Amino acid sequence: MDIVEREGVSAFYRDGNGGIYHTCSAFERGIDLMNTTCNLLDHTAKGRDENPKASHDWDSYNDQYKGAP
């Protein structure tokens, strides 16, 4: 699968004049603390047990489950 976009989070600030500023962004492994599943796995004996060349290869997308329309 060729993934073009990845998960991420951004923060913005609106000043008193209504101007909006993009203050920071984090992507991929930078948002792990927001994903409670990964945070919990990081505290277990085997951790995420990920393939270093393909992290999260154990994830399944909803449209790829067996029997998905």
Domain ranges in the chain are 6-48
Please give the Cα distance from 69 to 54 (Å, whole number): 26
pLDDT value of position 12:
95
Cβ partners under 8 Å of residue 1, min gap 6:
none
Please tell me the distance from the alpha carbon of residue 38 to that of residue 49, in angstroms, as a whole number. Answer: 11
pTM of the predicted protein model? 0.45
The rounded distance, in Å, linking the Cα atoms of 36 and 58 is 16
Nearest to 55 by CA among 36, 43, 33, 38: 38
Q: What confidence score (pLDDT) does residue 53 get?
A: 78
| Tens digit of each residue's pLDDT (9 = 90 or more) over 28-54 | 777 877 777 777 887 887 777 777 777
